[in-house]
Chains A and B, each alone.
Chain A
Amino acid sequence: MAVSVDEAVSAGPAGDRRPTVRRRGGRGRAMLEIALLTVLAVVMLFPVLWMIETSIKENRDVYAIPAEFIGFTVTMEHFKDVFVGPDGGRSALSVAFLNSALVAGLSTVLATLLGVPAAWAYSRFAVKAKKDQLFFILSTRFMPPVVVVIPIFLMYRQIGLIDSKLGLILIYTAYNLPFTIWMMKGFVDEVPAEYEDAAMLDGYTRLQAFRRFTLPLLVPGIAATAVFALIFSWNEFVFAIFLTSSDSVRTAPPAIAGLIGGTTTDWGLVGAASVVFALPVLVFAYLVRKHLVAGVTLGAVRR
């Protein structure tokens, strides 16, 4: 079964389009369907629009009763507060954003470096108990994070990785590996093994054949996989909140969540921080839209 958003987005309609089929009340029904879709789209997008709106409202408009949809004064104060601290220096949030970028970036690089060769090996060779190994790999990704975090917490405390970026990078790498391997295996499967066989007939070693002929063909797949790993690590919250505590190490999700502590919450600031935080994810998701189905099912559903 062909499963890709590419087709979902661009292929012809699955249903009927031909006038012979739309006999009775075809137009009325089409209008109804469009109306329904519009309502659903508005409902789905409203929270996002409300978040953006809140981020550019002045505080008195944020808390206005009844809520103000239009006609408020636009301000960029909240966005300034996201980056600039009250003392004029760097804000805790901007430090958290930098930490997030570092942790997500490095763990993605590591997961790619470990995952791509493994995926290639699983795709090309008769590995002992391959199915069991692949099942094991996938199942580690499905573990409830709050369960895994208990022993990880104890382990990190023992070896001094608690409240360190390295600790987060390691756990995110392990967390992304199953996804990277499953997704990349799909991409490698699509490259004919004959390319490597032919290269080996020409005298290249297996490794050279992989590096010179298969790897270049995998680059788009690697890019898509890496983007997904990046998004997962960027959004991750559970490990981040339990394994880190200091402002200098904390990533953005727990830092943003920390904004609601205390008696009053500056929702304008929460909105602005959320917008800044979500923006790269939306851009990245748009870049990999062709691979969304594979990406969100950990690469398990492809073809």
Chain B
Amino acid sequence: MPPAPGRSRRLSDRGLAAAFISPALLLLLAMSVFPLLWALYLSFTNYSATRGGPAEFVGFANYTAILTSAQVHQRALTTLIYVVGAVALQTVLGFGIAYLISRRTHGRGLLTTLFLVPMMLSPVVVGLFWRFMLDAQFGVINSMLGSLGLGQVEWLTRQRTALISLIVVDTWQWTPFIMLIALAGLTAVPKYLYEAASIDRASEWFRFRTITLPLVWPLLLIAVLFRAIEAFRLFDLVYILTNGGPGVSTETLSFHVYKVAFLGFNTGTASAYGILMVVVVIVLTQLYLRYLNKLKEG
């Protein structure tokens, strides 16, 4: 096509930007912001989705009820143990695997690909399969423990082990994520730094501590924050693996919101609960973006 000089620009740059951006923003407003505003409104009422009827304004009653509820405090503690436990385990394991892989010359691509498989699976598949493997009677884990001469563990039906099981399964699925990010950081460390250090006869530990870790750390921190956000809002794995039980031992905040909303049908209370969780997520997201910007500038 020949150049078309002098063809009138029907859309100015500004108009074009608006035309291209607004449909996306409108959809997000309709599907995210509007529902959240609705939830915000409901959070100040005693509305119930099943009872129907008009929503009655109750002020901050829902919020004070949640913030002072011993139940909620316990769920918050469960969530904290789960998030900290799972993310810490994933970080140590993921970084360890990445470090080992980065020291290999051969078979790296294959190894990386194999390690990434768990991360790609749906939480439903992961949850179901671990439920089967952790089954007290015919689960393969207990079967293996048995053949090693060890006792059987009721993984999902005892209070304490259930939370540990949840952490283990989450770690199994998401260690590859940390590994992937750590590996990207490790391979980006300039080789000449190590060469310089080896000329100085620096010890392996010294090189790890003064070169590898400081250079990989910013990226690792981003991975950790990302995982913390995801773990905090986790719902599907709990639902499939333990359904919050036994008792309430694996009931995280996300799961508790679901119970309040869909089993208790206290829509108003659940909305207030949800708004508070969103606030936590927004704070975490801010941190995530702050470190992301630092990384991009650095």
Contacts and interface: CB of A to CB of B under 8 A. Distances in A.
Interface in A96-140: 114-115, 117-118, 120-122, 124-125, 127, 133, 135-140
A138 B14 CA distance: 23
Contact of A205 (B10, B172, B188, B189): B10
A31 interface: no
Contacts of B240: 237, 257
B236 A238 contact: yes
Interface string B113-148: 111111111111111111111000110100110110
A3 B184 contact: yes
Contact of B172 (A41, A47, A136, A274): A47
A3 B185 contact: yes
Contact of A181 (B10, B24, B127, B132): B24
Given A37-B100, A146-B274, 7 more contacts: A37-B101, A143-B36, A144-B232, A146-B233, A203-B4, A203-B5, A206-B11
Interface residues of B, number: 122
Contacts of A17: 105
A234 interface: yes
6 contacts: A7-B187, A125-B17, A148-B36, A150-B257, A170-B27, A293-B180
Interface string B37-48: 011001000000
- Scoring B97, B121, B273, B284 by chain A CB atoms within 10 A of each residue's CB, the highest score goes to B121
B27 A206 contact: no
Contact of B176 (A8, A44, A143, A178): A44
A33 B223 CA distance: 24
A170 to B, nearest CB: 6
A135 B212 CA distance: 31
Interface size class for chain A?
Answer: 35 or more
B289 interface: yes
Q: State the main secondary structure of chain A at its contact with B.
A: helix
Nearest to B108: A9
Interface stretch (B56-64, B66-74, B275-283): B275-283
A70 interface: no
A297 B181 contact: yes
Nearest to A1: B188
Contact of B27 (A47, A136, A177, A282): A177
Contacts of A1: 185, 188, 218-219, 295, 298
B219 A3 contact: yes
A278 B129 CA distance: 12
A259 B293 CA distance: 45
A3 B24 contact: no
